[in-house]
A and B are shown apart, each in its own frame.
Chain A
């Protein structure tokens, strides 16, 4: 549609399209504008001494900090550490969560049996398990990975299970009238019809994975963006805290954007 030439349209429709394009352009310039304005104001108030840059840092100091991290070669080491923990934890949580949800859908008895336990584990603040995790898994990446999986997996299970259970009853009836086995109902109907729920679960779990990995790094780590933030806080280098936070924002947004891209690809043909 988008690529269609506007030649064939009526003058009124061309006018409409032009207005729409202008509107999109306006929104984007406003978005950029507010960012530039805020950064400028921040920089200016730090430079002019309205606020103490020691406490608030400033855009130029953040840029310098990131540059010096880059120069001493640790920038990508920290980014890589956190990114790996987050992505691996995300992947494991999603895969395990999906698998468990399938098993729970399959057997009502198992579902009823495990329901109260899942509810309790979901309600438990995972950070309370910090000391246990350190004792069991040490203070390395494994502990952080475990924390990340723990934070994400229950959400994945609950999200997918409720989608599986809500599978359209009439479509199930239709398949059963064709003589479909439970496995066929699963592969032909339950899995494909829950694809939108899967995508929204991925979106939620992107956030969960970052919470898990950063929280994990707060408790145990010697590397990573969460470590930089904690360390920066302890030695009162707010430039470092701000820099790591900014990088985190960019990475989290990037990962979310990838999921949105995946959504566009996977759901392009369906009507749900």
Chain B
């Protein structure tokens, strides 16, 4: 039995605004264990980002309990690199914020950047990077503090199709080879199938977990090859029906 890194037990969340209240999460219960890659799919506006904010501890649940082991790293839809900082300084940002900017940690972050093809760009400004490279830099920034759980909020949806396939491959490769636990939010069914070990399907707002599937691609973790496997279209059909039920 693997260690549970993240557990939601009956988590609900209500947003309160001047105009009224919006229930964005309804009795969410699920867990993510160590080293697992879980994708969450749901229609847009159903409460996916809310779920991730809850997981990160940025929001307190109105009801229920969120338990997380260890630290987490958050990656957003857009890279959100700071244009006035070099790529290297961007990658060091979480180290600065957490007051752990030691020479050792900096070198670790630099090594990650070099390993994943950003070595020559450490002293450049983000504007010199292509969309795909910017997203890779954002992932390395997220990994700089060596977080235990990665929370990814539609990190590929702002990229054009061609770049998206490449970056998905890149990012999944990095996450797998670093052995990270990941919770990926997406509204793209094929992206979820090509990346995840397990998929949670959410209902329209307020988000509830309606279905949960463990994918059967065995040891095949590569998104490109998964897309060419036999089971792929079958999973697509199942999930598409569940999403549009």
Contacts and interface: CB of A to CB of B under 8 A. Distances in A.
B74 A269 contact: no
Contacts of A272: 83-84
B216 interface: no
A60 B1 CA distance: 96
Given A177-B56, A270-B125, A271-B127, A171 B97 contact: no
Interface of A is mostly: helix
A177 B74 contact: yes
A189 B76 CA distance: 17
Contact of B84 (A168, A175, A180, A270): A270
A188 B97 contact: yes
B155 interface: no
Interface string A166-179: 00101101111111
B97 A180 contact: yes
B58 A176 contact: yes
Contact of A177 (B58, B82, B83, B84): B58
A171 B78 CA distance: 10
B126 interface: yes
B13 interface: no
B131 interface: no
A184 to B, nearest CB: 6
Q: Give the bracket for the number of chain B residues in contact with chain A.
A: 20 to 34
Given A173-B58, A174-B80, A189-B82, A271 B126 contact: yes
A192 B98 contact: no
A193 interface: yes
B58 A170 contact: no
A62 interface: no
Q: Give the bracket for the number of chain A residues in contact with chain B.
A: 20 to 34
Interface string B45-84: 0000000000010100000000000001110111010111
Given A177-B58, A192-B82, A270-B83, A170 B98 contact: no
A269 B125 contact: yes
Contact of A184 (B76, B97, B125): B97
Contacts of A179: 97-98
Interface string A150-180: 0000000000000000001011011111111
A195 interface: yes
B93 interface: yes
Contacts of B126: 271
13 contacts: A170-B78, A173-B58, A174-B74, A174-B80, A176-B58, A177-B74, A178-B74, A178-B97, A179-B97, A188-B93, A195-B84, A270-B83, A272-B84
Given A170-B77, A188-B96, 18 more contacts: A170-B76, A173-B58, A174-B74, A174-B80, A176-B58, A177-B72, A177-B73, A177-B74, A178-B93, A180-B97, A184-B97, A189-B82, A269-B84, A269-B125, A270-B84, A270-B125, A271-B125, A272-B83
